[in-house]
Structure 1
Amino acid sequence: MSEDIDPRNEPAPFGTLVLLTAASAVAVMGLSALLSQPPGLKWLLFGPIALVAFEMVVHEVWWQRWWGAIPGAVAGLALYFEGRATLSDLVGDVWAHPVAYVAAWTLFAAVFALCSRYPRTLRPT
């Protein structure tokens, strides 16, 4: 007897998700550098979040595999704030923000994609 495999139960594609999220973060930083006024928080979050949502919709990643967004966000935020402070001492304030931003989104995508390999199961109550 062959079981039907639900395509939504496939994990997020690691390489594609990480590379596209990193490229999206680089593109957002590149566009923000070209703008005369610094962009707001909504602009900085739009590109990578839209890309991760797009990947989930296109690849139909099942909602039980989305739990990885929480540890990914925590790790990414920690890397951004700690990394930005450390990088400002090493490379200066001008480069600290873009490098920390791209690194944080890349870490977020990597943690999310790794966590998607382990679906969260619901226990009946």
Structure 2
Amino acid sequence: MSEQQIDPRDEPAPFGAVVLLTVASAVAVMAVTSLLNEPPGLKLLMLGPIALVVFEVVVHEVWWQRWWGALPGAVLGLTLYFEGREALGDLIGDSWAHPIAYVAAWALFAVVFALASRYPRTLSA
């Protein structure tokens, strides 16, 4: 009897850790930018969560063909950010709309990325 070998490339990104840490880093970025007197640049807003997702991919050795989830995650996250910020701005004001939409967008990105990392699977015999 031979035990079926598990291909390490079939290990998905850890869902809870990726989502929780991405959201936590987005909250941290919002906290730091609230301390700045001038509005943050795009590079600062993208730095924390992107660095965290790259770290998770490298540490957990997610197969490169599973990174495809970053593209639909980015599209959905950006859509949520711009549409959500506008809708929230009408409801609660611009000062809270930006941070809430920012964190929600990164949360959606992380969820899509983590779920997409489960496919495709390798063809093990």
Count of residues in Structure 1 that have an aligned counterpart in Structure 2:
121
Q: Classify 1:9/1:27 alpha carbon distance in 2 versus 1 (closer, same or farther; 3 Å).
A: same
1:81 corresponds to 2:107: no
Long gaps (5+) in structure 1: none
TM-score norm. by structure 2 comes to 0.92
What RMSD over aligned residues (CA atoms) do the two structures have, in Å? 1.3
Output the CA distance in 2 between the equivalents of 1:6 and 1:66: 17
Q: Is the 8 A contact 2:11 2:62 kept in 1?
A: yes
Q: Is the 8 A contact 1:8 1:59 kept in 2?
A: no
Q: Which runs of 4+ in 1 moved over 4 A?
A: none
Quote how far apart the aligned CAs of 1:39 are: 1.3
Output the CA distance in 2 between the equivalents of 1:17 and 1:36: 31
TM-score norm. by structure 1 comes to 0.92
Q: What is the percentage of aligned positions where both structures have the same residue? A: 74
* Secondary structure in structure 2 of the residue aligned to 1:18: helix
Output the CA distance in 1 between the equivalents of 2:7 and 2:38: 47
Which amino acid in the other structure matches residue 54 of structure 1?
Answer: F
